[in-house]
Amino acid sequence: AQRVTQPEKLLSVFKGAPVELKCNYSYSGSPELFWYVQYSRQRLQLLLRHISRESIKGFTADLNKGETSFHLKKPFAQEEDSAMYYCALSGTGRRALTFGSGTRLQVQP
């Protein structure tokens, strides 16, 4: 069975501080990992996926297969980064997503 774990329900940082939202997964094959973001009163939207290795809005995430982790990082948090962040996984040959429980990021001025 596949599982995504986000251990922090809430992460509060000050503006300009580094941010790391943790995500660990369990999956027996080769998963594809994603980070989705949900801003207040908005729908879920894709932030980044590990295959593309992009940096979106200053966020990066590296897939560590040894530690089965896909932590989301940003060196300098901005107030507009305040949102709910979900880590998600799709299994080999499947597009359906398994979501973690989400972490609410609060960036204080």
Partner 1 sequence: GAVVSQHPSWVICKSGTSVKIECRSLDFQATTMFWYRQFPKQSLMLMATSNEGSKATYEQGVEKDKFLINHASLTLSTLTVTSAHPEDSSFYICSATGRDNYEQYFGPGTRLTVT
Residue 103 engages partner 1 in binding (rule: CB under 8 A): no
Would you count residue 17 as binding partner 1 (CB under 8 A)?
Answer: no
Minimum distance between the CB of residue 19 and partner 1, rounded to whole angstroms? Answer: 20
- Give the helix ranges, DSSP H, for the chain: none
Which lies closer to partner 1 via its Cβ, residue 16 or residue 26? 26
Based on CB atoms, which residue is closest to partner 1, 43 or 109? 43
The span from the CA of 53 to the CA of 71, in Å, is 13
- Applying CB under 8 A, what is the total number of residues that bind partner 1? 15
Query: What is the C-alpha to C-alpha distance for residues 86 and 8, in angstroms, rounded to an integer?
Result: 11
